[in-house]
């Protein structure tokens, strides 16, 4: 004999001709399942909670007075591996330095979170918003006004 061994797929498998009871058991089990609550989360109306550390759309944080924390140092743009951040600094005479332009291309972004880690002022963070949809590529290029309120872009269906 070439093959003198057997492989048992399952040791407590019913023998041949003894399938009736397992089949009835199966019927009983499916009937029981019919009266349990579905575990589906109806996506656009109900959503699963994301982790606190979830890396979604960016937010530019503001301080108590509503001013941007960002000082336009450009570290985030420098560390960004996908070259998605563009910062344009501006400084008035004797005043504070702030970004005149802060653009994140959310299509280029790989949501690694390096920008948030590199930021010395803790001015940028990644939020839990993960389902932004829109019609044009240009809609995904976020400027300061869009970056301040990423919660507005949560997909609510339709």
Partner 1 sequence: MIEFLLITIIKALVIIGITFLIVAYSTWFERKLLGHIQLRHGPMRVGFHGLLQPIADGIKSLFKEDVIPENADTPVFLMAPMISLSAAILLLSVIPFGPPIYIPIIEREFTLCLADIDIGILFVLGISTIGAYGCMLGGWSSGNKYGVIGGLRSSAQMISYELPLVLSVIPIIMVSGTSSLVEIVQSQAGLWNVVKCPFTFIAFILSVICGLAELNRTPFDMAEAEAELACGYNVEYSSLKFALFFIAEYMHMFIFAAITTTLFLGGWQGPEIPFIGAGLSGLFYFSIKTFLIIFIFIWERATFPRLRYDEVMQFGWKILFPVSLVNILFTGLWLLTFN
Query: What are the residues binding partner 1 (CB under 8 A)?
Result: 23, 26-27, 29-31, 33-34, 36-40, 42
Cβ proximity to partner 1: between 1 and 20 the closer is 20
Rounded to a whole number of angstroms, the minimum distance from the CB of residue 37 to partner 1 is: 8
Smallest distance from partner 1 to CB 108, Å: 34
Q: How many residues does the chain have?
A: 158
Tokens 């970004």 locate to: 99
**Of the two residues 6 and 33, which places its CB atom closer to partner 1 in the complex?**
33
Q: Residue 3 is encoded by which pair of tokens?
A: 């093959």
What's the rounded Cα separation, in Å, for the pair 104 and 64? Answer: 24
Residue closer to partner 1 (CB basis): 27 or 50: 27
- Min CB(42)–partner 1 separation in Å: 7
User: Tokens 């606190």 appear where?
Assistant: 52
Least distance between partner 1 and beta carbon 38 (Å): 5
Rg of the chain (C-alpha set): 27
For residue 58, give the H/E element and its range. Answer: strand 58-60
Distances (CA, A) of 66 to 61, 73, 133: 9, 19, 28
Nearer to partner 1, 28 or 90 (CB): 28
């Amino acid at each position: 004999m070439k093959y003198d061994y057997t492989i048992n797929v399952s040791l407590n498998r019913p023998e041949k001709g003894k399938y009736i009871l397992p089949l009835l058991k199966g019927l009983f089990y499916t009937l029981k399942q019919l009266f349990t609550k579905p575990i589906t989360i109806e996506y656009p109306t109900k959503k699963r909670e994301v982790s606190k550390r979830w890396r979604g759309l960016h937010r530019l944080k503001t301080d108590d007075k509503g001013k941007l924390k960002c000082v336009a140092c450009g570290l985030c743009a420098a560390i960004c591996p996908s070259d998605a951040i563009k910062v344009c600094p501006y400084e008035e005479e004797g005043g504070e330095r702030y970004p005149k332009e802060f653009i994140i291309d959310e299509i280029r972004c790989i949501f690694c979170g390096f920008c948030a880690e590199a930021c010395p002022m803790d001015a940028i963070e990644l939020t839990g918003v993960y389902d932004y949809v829109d019609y044009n590529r240009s809609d995904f290029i976020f400027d300061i006004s869009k970056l301040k309120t990423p919660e507005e872009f949560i997909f609510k269906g339709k």
